[in-house]
Amino acid sequence: MALGEFELIRRYFRRDDGPRNPAVSLGIGDDCALLQTTPGMQLAVSSDMLVEGRHFFPDIDAEALGHKALAVNLSDLAACGARPLAFTLALSLPHADEPWLERFARGLFELADVHGCTLMGGDTTRGPLNICITVVGEVPAGQALLRSGARPGDELWVSGTLGDARLALEALQGRRVLAPAALETSRLRLERPTPRLALGLALRGIASAAMDLSDGLAGDLGHLLSASGCGASLDADTLCGLLVASAAVPDPKDRLALVLGGGDDYELLFSAPAAQHEAVRAAGRAAGVALTRIGRLEGAPGLRVIDAQGRPVHGRYASFDHFA
Ligand code: ADP
Ligand code: MG
């Protein structure tokens, strides 16, 4: 690298005068970062890796990439009801492209600063473009939202909208034609996901189970159902209504496939006892995010999608699996 490794870190990632979460006692520069833990809290830790060609197109805007790399990690903290503290960044770069680094760092820190999440360390190496972030958050001991707490009779909810990121992906891959305006809005959903941190915090003590949607509703819900040992039925019409670009997708079956097969939505999927219905609504209002009740948990295992006449809708709703 023309720009040395340490100069690169100093110039783009080490912000000695930047905001710092008080939990970070020691940040970038030593062999380890030091985090001050709070008595009575548990640390919540999660990693996500973004690989060029696999998770993003080579021509993605660097600022959007910086945003997304952190957003998908923060989304995991949101799913657990954890508050972000700090993160590490392991970065493999083909070369030290300064305008690229500047944009990447801008997207990254803009989101980090919104959530008070401090870059505390990492690793930098030359290689194919690959970004691995590990986030650390905290949650009062025993209060983390897990996938395993859903019970038959609970209502099933999602935040925001679903399917538009997948729609953009298919358009960018040339598998679908979208009008420029529809491509623009759906592309924002793909490249600029919003981690639902305020909602995750507001759902502590209310949701019985929660997770974030990264690989598509049908598959991700399957994980929640198996962790909780129950099944679910979903309302087809309600699901169809979750796609924003509905005018671009006139066929309801096609809409349903986008919403259920989706991927890259980064919304929260959660269950809550029916008695918490109003508390859930209040949590959505407090967090400033729309919530939709999409169905109900049932004792019978499996996932059923039911139409307005009460009939099961059949279809294969493939969710994303890197090794399938
Ligand atoms: P080590 O040799 O101990 O692995 P390095 O020399 O790789 O440490 O890194 C020096 C310092 O810079 C460390 O504090 C490390 O955490 C930090 N660092 C390296 N790469 C990054 C990065 N991409 N983002 C943030 N901090 C980084
Ligand atoms: Mg060292």
- Residue 305's closest CA among 234, 218, 216? 234
Model-level pTM?
0.95
Q: Tell me, using a 6 A CB cutoff, whether residue 16 lines ligand 1.
A: no
Gap between the Cα atoms of 238 and 318, Å rounded: 19
pLDDT at position 17 over 70: yes
State the DSSP string of 118-133: EEEEEEEEESS-EEEE
Q: Tell me, using a 6 A CB cutoff, whether residue 108 lines ligand 1.
A: no
CB 92 within 8 A of CB 125: yes
pLDDT at position 278 over 80: yes
Q: Tell me, using a 6 A CB cutoff, whether residue 70 lines ligand 1.
A: no
Mean per-residue pLDDT of the chain: 95
Probe target for ligand 1 pocket from 89, 124, 126, 133, with the most ligand atoms within 8 Å of CB: 124
Q: Tell me, using a 6 A CB cutoff, whether residue 29 lines ligand 1.
A: yes
For ligand 2, the distance from its centroid to the CA atom of residue 118, given in whole angstroms, is 20
Share of the chain above pLDDT 90, in %: 91
Q: Which two tokens stand for residue 171?
A: 């358009």
* More confidently predicted of 267 and 314: 267
Q: Which residue has the tokens 């407090």?
A: 286
> Whose C-alpha lies nearest to ligand 1, atom 11?
29
What pLDDT, on a 0 to 100 scale, did the predictor assign at position 21?
98
Apex 266 CA angle, 262 and 267, nearest 5? 95
pLDDT at position 318 over 60: no
pLDDT at position 281 over 60: yes
The band of 58, judged by pLDDT with boundaries at 50, 70 and 90, is: confident
The band of 324, judged by pLDDT with boundaries at 50, 70 and 90, is: low
pLDDT at position 320 over 70: no
> Whose C-alpha lies nearest to ligand 1, atom 7?
123
For ligand 1, the distance from its centroid to the CA atom of residue 124, given in whole angstroms, is 7
Gap between the Cα atoms of 296 and 225, Å rounded: 11
Terminal Cα distance for the chain, rounded: 37
pLDDT at position 93 over 70: yes
The band of 319, judged by pLDDT with boundaries at 50, 70 and 90, is: low
pLDDT at position 3 over 90: no
pLDDT at position 261 over 90: yes
Strands 291-298 vs 155-159: parallel, antiparallel or unpaired = antiparallel
Mean of pLDDT values over 209-219: 96
State the DSSP string of 261-272: H--S---EEEEE
Mean of pLDDT values over 101-118: 98
What pLDDT, on a 0 to 100 scale, did the predictor assign at position 57?
87
- Residue 197's closest CA among 79, 86, 107, 45? 79
Mean of pLDDT values over 262-268: 95
Q: Tell me, using a 6 A CB cutoff, whether residue 105 lines ligand 1.
A: no
Mean of pLDDT values over 167-178: 95
What pLDDT, on a 0 to 100 scale, did the predictor assign at position 59?
87
Q: Tell me, using a 6 A CB cutoff, whether residue 9 lines ligand 1.
A: yes
CB 105 within 8 A of CB 66: yes
Q: Tell me, using a 6 A CB cutoff, whether residue 91 lines ligand 1.
A: yes
Q: What is the CA radius of gyration of the chain?
A: 20
3-state SS assignment for residue 167: helix
Mean of pLDDT values over 227-249: 96
